[in-house]
Structure 1
Amino acid sequence: MYSRLLFLTLGTFAVGTDSFVIAGILPEISDSLDVSISTAGLLITVFAFTYAILSPIVAATTAHWPRKRLLLAGLLILAIGNALTAVLPTFGLVLASRAVAGLGAAMFTPTASTTAAALAPPEQRGRALAIVMAGLSGATALGAPIGTVIGSQVNWQATLWFVAVLSVLGAVGIAVQMPDVPSMPPVNLRKRMAPLKDARVGFTLLTTVLVFTGLYTNYSFVAESYDRATDGNGTILAVLLFVWGAGATVGNLGAGRLTDKIPGKRIIAVAIIVAGIDFALMPLSNRYLGTAIVAIFVWGICGWASLVPLQHRLLTISPAHGTLTIGLNAAATYLAVSASGLTGAAGIRLVGVHNLSLFGLGFIVLGLISSGIASRLIKKGEQTPEEAPATTPAMTKS
């Protein structure tokens, strides 16, 4: 199981690197394509927006595809999208190529999560989900910095080739190692979209949107909000971002193990509450480097510790529609990331850049309330008739 999960993780590492690395090479892209920095930033927005919008659509329309074929197609399209970004000569074409890469990511990531859950025995599903999601969190700590260094030492096109190579390597590993995973039987679109009517699914997805909006509202302006601790030094900021990524990986993997042992609602609640306390103290902790390191590490741990149990909860609620609900959760995450630039700018105007975490805290608190409502609905045992028999005892902890 672990050797197979490794290549799924490599695929999510490629997706995560593609998501985060563009920000590190944006000035070089701006100069090369002769556009402003703000215009070049649309490359990030188009990728995230395409990913967010297409994840549930792809999940719903390809539910009957063989999982292995969908995984391979997603990674190969991701590779093609990055190769096109590297070679196309004009900004408009490059922008379109980011949408192609976003389509590949939308095809791969939700499928990788549900495939990991299918490959694992019931008592190890949380761990399997965490291993695959570690690719995304690991990309923030390693993939994006490595890609940024490649861009600075060679050129920005080399960074995109780096992502394309990662994608191809993941596809080769899946082609060789991955067994055939059964697909869902063909059903009409109305039945396929049935989970959208479930309030438990709705409040779980709302939790993801609110919590990650709060977390990324501050992340989008981390250079400015932590400038007192870094004294404007880019190297120190890079160290802080590495610490954040390391915390994210620790939180993700730790939550995966815990999800297999204790109720997921406890993990979600503790992670959100601790993140909220961390954000409440951040206007003080972001003044000095020592306290900033602690604050940003806790931020990384707690932010990503909620992701796996939220996915596990969705699989528990609607096991027959797992790919769709995981796709919706991916969409919720990336919609939050896409919106964070706007919410961050609004927060700066209202409370100032060094107090921005307090603005993000409001979203985090609302996310905690939403998660509590979802937990109460799950406890009441609300189930749609066609899903009740599919729920397994091993998955009732979330």
Structure 2
Amino acid sequence: MTSTPAKSSSAALPKVLWPLLFGNFVIGTGVMIVPGTLNEISTSLGVSVAVAGQLIAAAAAVMCIGAPLFATFVAGWDRRRLLALSMLWYAVFLGLSALMPDFGSLLVVRVLTVVSPAIFTPQAAACVGLLVLPEQRGRAITFVFLGWSVASVLGMPIGALIGGMFGWRSAFGFVALLSLLSAVWVWRSMPNGVKPPALSRAAWAETFQSRALMLCVAVTLLYSAGQFVLFSYFAPYYKAMLNITPLQLSLLFAWFGAFGLIGNIFMSRQIDRIGAPSAVMWGVGSMALSLLIWPLGTSLVLVALVMVPWGLGCFSSNSAQQARLVGIAPALASGSIALNSSAMYAGQALGAGSGGWLIAHGGMYSLHWFGLVGLLAAMAMSWWATRQRAHGTV
């Protein structure tokens, strides 16, 4: 490896983290492009909103299974090549998605597209520890995951606006171009020889046998499912509730994402001081507060206010969870982060599938209550994980 970590925890983070942040921005934009254009996909391809939502569930299921599998398969790959190729793959299949003539073919190509998120996000996080000092790790990981927050501020709203004005195919093409740019930037910026140590079978076994790690992974599963019961269907929900226009929807997504960015920035500055477990509880609790007061959102302005706590907690909790796992067992980070990503995507699949079922059975206006149950369960599980850790359970 040719890069040298910064010399103190208070020093500026290495510039090589910027293309990783941008890569997560593109990955996040591509993942969230379907929720942002769900109305247009449904209308264009002649399927119901509930059926169109299965694009989210199917993709999330593939990312769930793929994250730990690819963590093993690509263990010996140089991260410069791996991350650049994964973004190139993303570009190609996002472009192909825009050309699909019907829902069935789009579903197949979408499943292939999300191989990239299953690789890029967990592997980018896993190699951060080789680019910074241990005492900078929490700040560096949350910095890289700012890309997902920025995707919610800029990528998802812009994608939704492009989809509303020019059609979902144009929105997919836009993200494909961003993916090409990301692939080039990663290739030009990442040093050669960045290879996190491969996990042996014994290490994988240790990861699965660690109660502390598995409880944390369960927390991610629960809060991801709780969020995506409703988040997957924001576009049709607000169309039904408020007859929202594409521009208003884009502005609402931008508002939500702005607070996601603020929450993640705050978390990146405070996590090493307050500790990752407290940071996770803070983030999930903020999201739960929004869903608790969700019925108060009876106008566009009130909806925007109700969404603020959710925005503050949604991406910051993901970042804090990654730092929490690395802190519990640094040597097992490649495996635990991959499993955590898998749990996040499994939760998305579970939430999107459950939300689609509820909508199909007339439950559009009760989505937030089901989501709240998942978030409260996540908080209880997180408390238990912290308690187990405090009593020395590994």
The TM-score, its normalising length taken from structure 2, stands at 0.86
Q: Which residue of structure 1 lines up, in the alignment, with residue 377 of structure 2?
A: 366
| Structure 2: 5+ residue stretches without partners | 1-12
Matches within 5 A, 1:33-112: 38-89=50-101, 91-112=103-124
1:233 Cα deviation (Å)?
2.5
Q: Which residue of structure 1 lines up, in the alignment, with residue 173 of structure 2?
A: 161
Any idea what SS the aligned residue of 1:120 has? coil
Is contact 2:220–2:344 with CA below 8 Å preserved after alignment? Answer: yes
Residue 307 in structure 1 maps to residue 339 in structure 2: no
Is contact 2:56–2:352 with CA below 8 Å preserved after alignment? Answer: no
Q: Which has the higher contact order (CA 8 A, sep 6+)?
A: 2
Any idea what SS the aligned residue of 1:248 has? helix
Match of 1:266 among 267, 273, 278: 278
Q: Evaluate the alpha carbon distance shift between residue 355 and residue 187 of structure 1 in structure 2; reply closer, same or farther with a 3 A threshold.
A: closer
Matches within 5 A, 1:250-265: 250-265=262-277
Is contact 2:259–2:308 with CA below 8 Å preserved after alignment? Answer: yes
| Alpha-carbon separation, structure 2, partners of 1:167 and 1:252 | 23
Q: Which residue of structure 2 lines up, in the alignment, with residue 233 of structure 1?
A: 244
Q: Which residue of structure 1 lines up, in the alignment, with residue 28 of structure 2?
A: 16
Q: Which residue of structure 2 lines up, in the alignment, with residue 242 of structure 1?
A: 254
Q: Which residue of structure 1 lines up, in the alignment, with residue 331 of structure 2?
A: 320
The letter of the residue matching 1:20 is: M
Cα deviations by residue, 1:145-181 (Å, 9 ceiling, x for unpaired)? 2223333444433322221221121111111111135
1:116 Cα deviation (Å)?
2.7
Q: Evaluate the alpha carbon distance shift between residue 144 and residue 271 of structure 1 in structure 2; reply closer, same or farther with a 3 A threshold.
A: closer
Is contact 2:149–2:261 with CA below 8 Å preserved after alignment? Answer: yes
The letter of the residue matching 1:121 is: L
1:37 Cα deviation (Å)?
5.1
| Alpha-carbon separation, structure 2, partners of 1:210 and 1:293 | 25
| Alpha-carbon separation, structure 1, partners of 2:187 and 2:236 | 44
Q: Which residue of structure 1 lines up, in the alignment, with residue 368 of structure 2?
A: 357
Q: Which residue of structure 1 lines up, in the alignment, with residue 184 of structure 2?
A: 172
Is contact 2:222–2:374 with CA below 8 Å preserved after alignment? Answer: yes
| Alpha-carbon separation, structure 2, partners of 1:371 and 1:296 | 23
Q: Which residue of structure 1 lines up, in the alignment, with residue 4 of structure 2?
A: none
Q: Evaluate the alpha carbon distance shift between residue 351 and residue 324 of structure 1 in structure 2; reply closer, same or farther with a 3 A threshold.
A: same
Match of 1:135 among 138, 147, 158: 147
1:54 Cα deviation (Å)?
0.1
1:225 Cα deviation (Å)?
6.0
Q: Which residue of structure 2 lines up, in the alignment, with residue 377 of structure 1?
A: 388
| Alpha-carbon separation, structure 1, partners of 2:51 and 2:215 | 35
Of the structure 1 ranges 122-131 and 101-110, higher mean CA displacement relative to structure 2 is found in 122-131
| Alpha-carbon separation, structure 2, partners of 1:328 and 1:345 | 25
Q: Evaluate the alpha carbon distance shift between residue 187 and residue 358 of structure 1 in structure 2; reply closer, same or farther with a 3 A threshold.
A: closer
Matches within 5 A, 1:280-295: 280-283=292-295, 285-295=296-306
Corresponding pairs, count: 381
Is contact 1:247–1:297 with CA below 8 Å preserved after alignment? Answer: yes
1:256 Cα deviation (Å)?
1.7
Q: Evaluate the alpha carbon distance shift between residue 211 and residue 6 of structure 1 in structure 2; reply closer, same or farther with a 3 A threshold.
A: same
Q: Evaluate the alpha carbon distance shift between residue 289 and residue 97 of structure 1 in structure 2; reply closer, same or farther with a 3 A threshold.
A: closer
1:198 Cα deviation (Å)?
0.9
| Alpha-carbon separation, structure 2, partners of 1:368 and 1:32 | 40
1:204 Cα deviation (Å)?
0.2
Q: Which residue of structure 1 lines up, in the alignment, with residue 351 of structure 2?
A: 340
| Alpha-carbon separation, structure 2, partners of 1:342 and 1:128 | 33
The letter of the residue matching 1:253 is: I
Q: Evaluate the alpha carbon distance shift between residue 81 and residue 351 of structure 1 in structure 2; reply closer, same or farther with a 3 A threshold.
A: closer
Q: Which residue of structure 2 lines up, in the alignment, with residue 123 of structure 1?
A: 135
1:326 Cα deviation (Å)?
1.2
Cα deviations by residue, 1:99-144 (Å, 9 ceiling, x for unpaired)? 2211112111101112234322233322222222122222222112
Of the structure 1 ranges 86-95 and 330-339, higher mean CA displacement relative to structure 2 is found in 86-95
Q: Which residue of structure 2 lines up, in the alignment, with residue 189 of structure 1?
A: 201
Match of 2:156 among 123, 144, 148: 144
Q: Evaluate the alpha carbon distance shift between residue 112 and residue 214 of structure 1 in structure 2; reply closer, same or farther with a 3 A threshold.
A: same
| Alpha-carbon separation, structure 2, partners of 1:87 and 1:224 | 24
The TM-score, its normalising length taken from structure 1, stands at 0.85
Is contact 1:208–1:332 with CA below 8 Å preserved after alignment? Answer: yes
The letter of the residue matching 2:83 is: L
Of the structure 1 ranges 144-153 and 250-259, higher mean CA displacement relative to structure 2 is found in 144-153
Any idea what SS the aligned residue of 2:274 has? coil
1:380 Cα deviation (Å)?
2.7
